Amino acid sequence: MREIKVGILGFGTVGSGTVKILQDNADAISARIGAEIVVSRVAVRDLTKPRDVSLHAPTLTTNPQDITDDPDIEIVAELIGGVEPARTLVERAIANGKNIVTANKEMVAKVGHDLRIAAQSSGKDFFMEASVAGGIPIIATLGESLAGNQVREIAGIVNGTTNYILTKMTQEGAAFEKVLSEAQSLGYAEAEPSSDVDGYDAQYKIAILASLAFGSRVNVEDVQVEGIRHISPRDIVVAKELGYRIKLIATAQGSPNGMRVRVNPTLLPLKHPLATVDGVFNGVFVRGDAVGDLTLIGRGAGSLPTGSAVVGDIIHCARNIVAGATGRVPYMASHDLPMLPAASSWSKFYARVRVLDRPKALAAIATIFGDHDVSIESVIQRAMPDEEAEIVWVTHEVREQDVHAALATIHALPVVRSVDTALRVME
Ligand code: NAP
Ligand code: HSE
């Protein structure tokens, strides 16, 4: 049987899962391709580090160019992460005629367009299924299975760390900091958690999905991002009482006029398919003009689920090599759609305001909302200690800029102690 040699850059969480699947399922994989996949080299930084998976052959190297420059290697899987040196290594591998598989959302979101063009110009494949939502096959779903649709909307829970934190806060009533340190000790959250909890990981992922769905380049910096540090146990409790769950939702909406792509903590009604996607699980909801609504739910991170996506892409490349049909890159950007301003978007909103418990406090706030064309769907007031009251407002669909302008004016009222939270509500 023909051998296809694969070089792997990185042997951490994803690299070791990838190698394990290739080794454990070798016979089935060979049968599916009609060729044998041979992991011929794996690049790491530290040769002495203990590894979770033992390689069948002594193939570790600390020189990535042993992979990018090896003429026998046909597929390079980049599983290092970050933009550099990953990007330079991928460029070098493409220049040397390799097909590329990557799990690297930051690299794909920031410089993926140029890399895909380089791969296409060289007649090589460029696949990236693992870069969004780990084991969930959302890239192939959008790029191939739904390619006949006009995708109207995507909404996703695409970051497992924040979903784990919000789920624990919901189930245990615990504060953000406490759950974050638990997640760090369990190895779910990084020691430096900003990429997850401040929303940047989700920002990269939704930029990739929007680009696939709308066929447009998406500048990552234009994707509005709001993390979850300011979500309090009180918001979670109040949202629950109102019949909602708070989730970090990455959304992309497209029309011929432009697109809106953003990441925000959002209240979801319990009937929404993403409301019950809990723990480290991810979920992606897609609305297409032909297919209607569909939701994919699964493991968005971890060694084997992410390795599953990487191995799927390696098999895809290998089949194309066997068929003499490489050169396929996901269709992403044929034009540049404008990014529509978030301020002019419409949504329901939840706002929690603390006031001095005095006559006319509620009326004063209601008047300001009305003056800004913000129509109220429901309002709940509760007396609190220290002669304060908490007022929770849920609006009808209103313009985002009107809500923010109203809340700024409300904040300045002498009777208002604080505007604690303002969050979008999805129906
Ligand atoms: P990781 O555990 O930190 O592993 C990174 C690997 O890259 C390590 O083996 C490291 O070597 C190696 N490496 C780093 N710099 C290198 C260099 N200059 N030359 C050679 N090797 C180098 O990271 P990971 O979690 O597997 O993530 C890999 C990629 O997958 C990232 O793009 C990440 O965003 C993406 N991803 C991860 C997950 C997940 O669940 N972890 C899910 C989806 C996507 P040493 O082992 O010697 O340090
Ligand atoms: N840090 C990411 C998460 C890993 O928590 O979802 C998967 O991309």
Instruction: Tell me the CATH number at 173.
Output: 3.30.360.10
Q: Are residues 125 and 163 in the same domain?
A: no
> Pick from 255, 289, 323: which residue ends a domain?
323
- CATH number of the domain that residue 384 is part of: 3.30.70.260
User: How far apart are alpha carbons 301 and 158 in whole angstroms?
Assistant: 9
pLDDT band at 214 (very low <50, low <70, confident <90, very high): very high
| Contact yes or no for 4/75 (Cβ under 8 A) | yes
| Res 331 pLDDT > 80 | no
Residue 284 has pLDDT above 80, yes or no: yes
Q: For residue 134, which ligand has an atom nearest its CA?
A: 1
State residue 332's pLDDT score. Answer: 76
Look-up of token digits 């580090």: 49
Whether 295 and 148 share a structural domain = yes
Same domain, yes or no: 293 and 418: no
390 in any annotated domain: yes
Q: For ligand 1, is residue 204 a contact (CB within 6 Å)?
A: no
* Residue 275 clears pLDDT 70, i.e. is over it: yes
Q: Write the secondary structure of 73-121 as one string of H (helix), E (strand) and C (coil).
A: EEEEEECCCCCCCHHHHHHHHHHCCCEEEECCHHHHHHHHHHHHHHHHH
Instruction: Judge if 143 and 292 occupy the same domain.
Output: yes
Distances in whole angstroms, Cα of residue 96 to Cα of each of 90, 123, 396? 10, 12, 57
pLDDT of residue 187: 75
Residues 43 and 123 in one domain: yes
Cα–Cα nearest to 64, from 36, 38, 84, 37: 84
pLDDT per position as a tens digit, 87-97: 999 999 999 99
Q: Is residue 183 part of a domain?
A: yes
Crossing angle of helices 361-371 and 400-411, rounded to 10°: 140
Statement to judge: residues 125 and 14 lie in one domain: yes
Instruction: Tell me, yes or no, whether 336 lies in a domain.
Output: no
| Per-residue model confidence (pLDDT) at position 251 | 98
Q: DSSP string spanning 382-405?
A: EEETTTEEEEEEEE-SEEHHHHHH
pLDDT at 305: 95
| Mutation probe of ligand 1 site: the residue of 80, 105, 282 with most atoms within 8 A of C-beta | 80
Counting ligand 2 atoms within 8 A of each CB, the residue from 14, 138, 159, 163 with the most, and so the one to mutate, is 159
- Nearest residue by C-alpha to atom 25 in ligand 1: 13
Scan for tokens 């930084």, then name that residue.
45
Q: Are residues 282 and 311 in the same domain?
A: no
Band (186; pLDDT cuts 50, 70, 90): confident
What average pLDDT does this structure show over 2-31?
A: 97
Residue 128 inside a domain? The answer is yes
Q: What is this structure's pTM?
A: 0.97
Q: What is the pLDDT of residue 58?
A: 65
Last residue of a domain, one of 323, 357, 390: 323
In a domain, 329, yes or no: no
Does the residue 198 lie in any domain? Answer: yes
Residue 300 CA to ligand 2 center (angstroms) comes to 7
Give the pLDDT of residue 333: 79
pLDDT surpassing 80 at residue 188? no
Lowest mean pLDDT among 1-15, 78-92, 330-344: 330-344
Q: For position 53, which CATH number holds?
A: 3.40.50.720
Least confident segment among 196-200, 238-242, 325-329, 422-426: 325-329
280/146 same-domain check:
yes
Q: Are residues 208 and 291 in the same domain?
A: yes
Q: For residues 320-338, b (16+ Cβ closer than 10 Å) or e, as one string? A: bbeeeebebbbebbeeebe
Please tell me the distance between residue 193's alpha carbon and the centre of ligand 2 in angstroms. 10
Q: Could you tell me what percent of the chain has a pLDDT over 90?
A: 91
Give the model's pLDDT for residue 90: 98
Instruction: Quote the radius of gyration of the chain (alpha carbons, Å).
Output: 24
* Tens-digit pLDDT profile for residues 52-106: 898 877 689 999 999 999 999 999 999 999 999 999 999 999 999 999 999 999 9
Shared-domain flag, residues 117 and 154:
no
Which residues neighbour 63 within 8 Å (Cβ) at sequence distance 6 or greater?
Answer: 43
Claim to verify: residue 286 and residue 184 sit in the same structural domain: yes
In the chain, the percentage of residues whose pLDDT exceeds 70 is 100
Calpha distance 6→315 (Å, rounded)? 11
| Cis, bond preceding 58 (omega within 30 deg of 0) | no
Q: Which of 323, 356, 390 is the last residue of a domain?
A: 323
Mean of all residue pLDDT scores within the chain: 95
pLDDT: which is higher, 190 or 407:
407
Q: What is the distance between the alpha carbons of residues 213 and 337, in angstroms, rounded to a whole number?
A: 12
96 and 207 assigned to the same domain: no
Distance from the alpha carbon of residue 324 to the mean position of ligand 2, in angstroms: 35
- The catalytic residue positions are 205
Tell me how many degrees the CA angle 232-236-237 measures, rounded to the nearest 5: 115
Residue 356 covered by a domain: yes
In angstroms, the CA 301 to CA 10 distance is 16
- Measured distance CA(13)–CA(280) in Å, rounded: 16
Domains held by the chain: number: 3
| Ligand closest in space to the Cα of 190 | 2
pLDDT of residue 128: 97
Q: Quote the domain boundaries for residue 28.
A: 3-134+303-323
Does residue 337 lie within any of the structural domains?
no
